[in-house]
Chains A and B, each alone.
Chain A
Amino acid sequence: MTTVTSARPARPVHRASSRPRGRRRGLHNYLFLAPAVVFVAGTVLYPLGFNLVQGFQSVGLAEIVNGGARFVGLDNYRDQFTRGEFWHSFGISLLYTAVAVALSVGGGLGLALLFNLPLRGRDQLRALMLLAWLLPTVVSANVWRWLLDGSHGLVNAALSAVGLIDGDVFWLARPDAALVAVTVATAWTLAPFAMILLLAGLQGIPGTLYEAARIDGARPVQQLRWITLPLLRPVTLATLLLCFIYTFKTFDTVFLMTGGGPGGATQTLPIYAYEQAFTFFDFDVAAVATTVLLAVPVMLSLAYFRSLRGEDRR
């Protein structure tokens, strides 16, 4: 995250006076900070801890209403880790995330390269692209449902007009197509976000490098291969990580488009957790699933920051 922020042109900051100044060193300074810290502790850290504890308890409907959940040690984890449905959801989540991230960052890179050219109305075009990312997910998910509608959807109309399909394809009702559809819809919202991050990275590459390369006779493709892509690598890695974190936890797009169906074909980990909690009231099982859901991006982020430190040392 820090890499991305520092890669974009910095907002004018008065470095000269960056030393914190207070009236005097006093406890009352902490009063400004206290509400936010207490609030975040109460609304984020406490529920998170509560959830973690629930994973080691037996929590059903009775315990939700009356409290008094019993500790069962690692039983929930043992149950889940030997359960096919859990691993199925985990696998679907990984597949969905990997493909959506690849499409988003790949597409985002293409878009960033395009919108980094000196185009007419470039700023307006960039901003328009961002609209896809800024739309509330309920809206974009609903629009994609309508686009992919089997009988009257625009996608089918377009595909049959060019002869790619024959007859109605019910994308969201077919186990083989539903995951593809959900992945494409996710990438559609995410690619402009990747584009903005990568554009910031592109703007951080000194123009003199390209001038030097041109003088040496490097053609545009060679400049891309030997200057742009290598120098963009740190920002690309950060973008990949952010997109992974975002997609891996995505609940609404999938829930709204398919509800995890058909037949569990799009049942990602967040959907699995939600169902366990609100359909079966197995909050302990949901706690295990959400803990895994959080653990994966956390581990990935740690690996990312370790690799950053490794690169710094070199």
Chain B
Amino acid sequence: MTRTLGLRWSVAATAVTLIYLIPVYWMLATSLKPLDQIFASPPRLVPIPATVASYTEVVFADPDVVRGLLNSAIIAVGTTVLTLLVAVPAAFALARLRIRFVAPVLMLFLVVQMIPSINLALPMFVIFNRAGLVDSFAGLIIANGALAVPLAVVILRPYFLTVPGEVLDAARVDGCTTFGAFLRIATPMSVPGLVTVAVITFLQAWGEFVFGLALATDEAMQPISVVLAGLNNAFGTRWNDVMAVSVVVALPVVLAFVFLQRFIVAGLTEGATKS
């Protein structure tokens, strides 16, 4: 469609987008309100006067929230490192090495993504219970990696396919080992893919809920997603505080989105699932 449309459709589309994102605005606006404004009727659409009290007094002060944020950071970083270590060589092998079973392995990694987290979380609880991995970062990182690794391989493989075989051949002629070619040539050439996978994995693990709920029975180990769920009961009607925590939980997504949007959108449509 090359015909340029009038301004009308652009305005309509902008209006649709803004209306669609009202929940996001409301989260932000609520988080900036003092408590008495929460109960105003009709609700005040703009938080004036705005206050950051919910952030300073709850998000960065409440011990449960702070610990939850810290736990989630550890789990998300751990999951990202584990996933990259395991998935990057595999994606390289599936794209550029002479091996058999490429199609079935790829199929397996693709199919595995439709498995519900709860199907893994319940048996993992029993298995981890015996292995002493319940209430441990190791357990939570492994659980998060279970669905992250196959997704990472599926997303990364096309990036390694873009590394020309001639370049790898040249490295071989120059006496490079396969591992050397992987580490010094193929991987640096696939940095956009690595960034995409790292960000997607981090965000997924950061917001993950089911494994956190099932595998962290001790409050001290709970990720922020589980802590946030509990705040509803603990804070009662202090919605400004709950929304402030929500904003902070959403923040990495928004940041990634602003700065790395191009990578993420491509990666998302490639993998086409969210756990």
A residues neighboring B (CB under 8 Å): 1, 4-5, 8, 11-14, 17-25, 28-33, 35-37, 39-40, 43-44, 46-48, 50-51, 54, 59, 64-65, 67, 111, 114-122, 125, 127-140, 142-147, 149, 151-152, 154, 157, 161, 188, 192-193, 196-197, 200, 207, 210, 242, 245-246, 248-249, 251-252, 255-256, 270, 273-274, 277-278, 283, 286-287, 290-291, 293-294, 297-298, 301
Contacts and interface: CB of A to CB of B under 8 A. Distances in A.
Interface residue SS majority, chain A: helix
Contact of B250 (A21, A139, A255): A139
Given A8-B269, A143-B246, A196-B269, A135 B98 contact: no
Contacts of B270: 5
A226 to B, nearest CB: 16
13 contacts: A35-B86, A36-B149, A43-B149, A44-B120, A51-B119, A121-B14, A132-B20, A135-B24, A139-B207, A157-B42, A210-B1, A255-B209, A297-B114
Which 7 A-B residue pairs are closest in the complex by CB-CB distance? A136-B207, A249-B116, A36-B90, A32-B93, A43-B146, A22-B98, A17-B165
A143 B150 contact: no
B21 A157 contact: no
Interface string B1-42: 111110101101110110011111011001000000011011
Contacts of B1: 116-118, 207, 210
Given A136-B206, A157-B41, 20 more contacts: A20-B102, A22-B178, A32-B90, A39-B146, A44-B120, A59-B126, A64-B125, A114-B9, A121-B14, A125-B14, A132-B20, A139-B246, A143-B23, A149-B239, A152-B237, A193-B274, A207-B1, A270-B118, A291-B119, A294-B116
Given A4-B269, A146-B243, A249-B118, A40 B94 contact: no
B97 interface: yes
B257 interface: yes
A261 B17 CA distance: 32
B202 to A, nearest CB: 12
Interface residue SS majority, chain B: helix
Contact of B273 (A23, A47, A242): A242
Interface of B: 1-5, 7, 9-10, 12-14, 16-17, 20-24, 26-27, 30, 38-39, 41-43, 85-87, 89-90, 92-99, 102, 105, 108-112, 114-120, 122-127, 129-130, 142-143, 145-147, 149-150, 153, 158, 161-162, 164-166, 168-169, 172, 177-178, 181-182, 203, 206-207, 209-210, 213-214, 225, 228-229, 232, 237, 239, 242-243, 246, 249-250, 253-254, 257, 261, 264-266, 268-270, 272-274
A294 B119 contact: yes
Contacts of B150: 36, 40, 44
A48 B249 contact: no
B129 A65 contact: yes
Contacts, number: 318
B267 to A, nearest CB: 11
A50 B123 contact: yes
B123 A51 contact: yes
B272 A197 contact: yes
B116 A283 contact: no
Nearest to A153: B43
A287 B96 CA distance: 40
Contacts of B102: 20
A290 B130 CA distance: 21
Contacts of B250: 135-136, 139
A63 B43 CA distance: 53
A205 B105 CA distance: 32
Contact of B158 (A11, A37, A133, A200): A11
A210 B1 CA distance: 8
Contact of A136 (B181, B253, B269): B253
A128 B10 contact: no
A32 B182 contact: yes
